Amino acid sequence: MKPAVLSATEAARGFGDLLARVRYRRESFLIRRGRTIVARLEPVDVPGISGAEAAAAWQRTRRLGGREAAAFEADLRKARRAIRPAKSPWDR
């Protein structure tokens, strides 16, 4: 599909809607200032995998041995002790 051409003013006034159209409808736009095209707004193709692919990859992942698992568990405990709860701005 050919990208729609919008003026910079139109793009600025409806920027949130424009981003939603790019993200969800996979539309592309050319932005012009005066008579010159100055920018292109288009979806970014982000590589991803399906849930089934993720599950299959998990099944192929090497499991930790006894010592590795114990060391990992100790590291997690140490990290949890080091984490301090965030203070809420409403706490006094």
Q: Please state, in angstroms and rounded to a whole number, the distance separating the CA atoms of residues 32 and 13.
A: 14
The tens digit of pLDDT for each residue in 46-91 reads: 778 888 988 998 899 888 899 999 999 999 999 999 988 777 778 7
Helix, strand and coil in the chain, % to nearest 5: 50, 15, 35
Residue keyed to tokens 């709860």: 85
Residue 11 near residue 41, CB atoms below 8 Å? yes
Confidence of residue 12 (pLDDT cuts 50, 70, 90): very high
Tell me, rounded to whole angstroms, the distance of Cα 88 from its chain centroid: 26
Phi–psi pair at 30, nearest 5 degrees:
-105, 135
* Domain extent listing, the chain: 4-41, 51-82
Whether this prediction's pTM lies above 0.85 is answered by no
